[in-house]
Amino acid sequence: MDYVETRPAGPLAERVSFWRLRGAAQTVELEPVPPDGRIEVIVHLGEPFRVREEGRLVVQPRVLVAGPGTRPVELVPGGRVDVIGVRIEAGAAARFLGDVEALVDRVPALDAFAPRLARELAEELAESTGEGWTAVLERRLASLVGEADPALERAVARVRASHGRTSLAELARVSGLSARQLERRFRARVGYGPKLLARIARFQRAWELLRAAPHASGAALAARAGYYDQAHLVKDFRQFAGEPPRRFLAGQQREEALAGFFAG
């Protein structure tokens, strides 16, 4: 399958990236896609994927929002794949989604939150040609993620830059907020607290290191990613990837593995 990712010009680039995945599905098996703390707006122009929800497979809406996750989303393509996505940094989507905390580990239809946006995105993207899809996204999303929260954004940026190796006290200092204010702001705009976002960022770093050095020992991988020990690394992989590191890596070594395209 063909995957492209790009960032829009201007201030939007700090908070948003656009991606598109096209091709023919090569698998009929569910694949885990780990969380990265971001929110995604997704439009299926091809056949919608199927997702496991409460032990059963359901067909995704054509236009949906993937809320911030605390566990992997299990997906399988439904046939012809043509998916356009907007990956929005933690804290930047609250303006048009409202209560982000209520979206944690949910993948509902976008029209439940922004019906006009859902309808217009689907219509305009279906009619776009060539690279016109990026212009549609840029025009539609610019005003929606334009409301900045500088204190929160500084804290989120610190979590990303440190790959989760930061403390609540440091984030409070960077943001200029008290620890209690920071916690409240995170839950309202990110969906969960800064400690969990830091854990997810650290897991993402460990996954990146594992892909780059698949034969490294578990202890070495844990140390490089900032874990106390290998047991903590395995615990996070089980929570965020659904499997221990080596087993997850083995399942992701196929060229068409979904998690490889959607890695944060």
Q: Is 50 part of a structural domain of the chain?
A: yes
Place of tokens 């996505």: 85
Domain count, the chain: 1
Inside any domain, residue 240? no
Q: Decide if 260 is inside a domain.
A: no
Helices of type H across 59-130: 94-97, 115-127
Which candidate, 148, 262, 104, places its Cα nearest to that of 157?
A: 148
- Report residue 254's pLDDT band, with 50, 70 and 90 as the boundaries: low
- Containing domain of residue 82, as a range? 2-147
Q: How far is CA 161 from the centre of its chain?
A: 16
Return the percentage of the chain with pLDDT > 70, whole number. 92
pLDDT at 143: 72
Of 189, 161, 165, the residue nearest 177 (C-alpha) = 189
Give the strands of the sheet with 56-59, arranged side by side. 31-33, 73-76, 50-53, 56-59
**Domain of 135: which CATH number?**
2.60.120.10
**Is it the case that residue 117 has pLDDT exceeding 90?**
no
Q: Is 152 part of a structural domain of the chain? A: no
pLDDT at residue 185 is higher than 90 = yes
Most confident of 140-144, 176-180, 248-252: 176-180
- pTM of the prediction? 0.92
- Whether 103 is covered by a domain: the verdict is yes
pLDDT at residue 9, as a whole number: 82
Does residue 48 lie in a domain region?
A: yes
- 222 in a domain, yes or no? no
How far apart, in whole angstroms, are the C-alpha atoms of residue 98 and residue 252?
Answer: 34
Q: Residue 31 pLDDT > 80, yes or no? A: yes
At residue 226, the pLDDT reads: 94
Q: Is residue 78 part of a domain?
A: yes
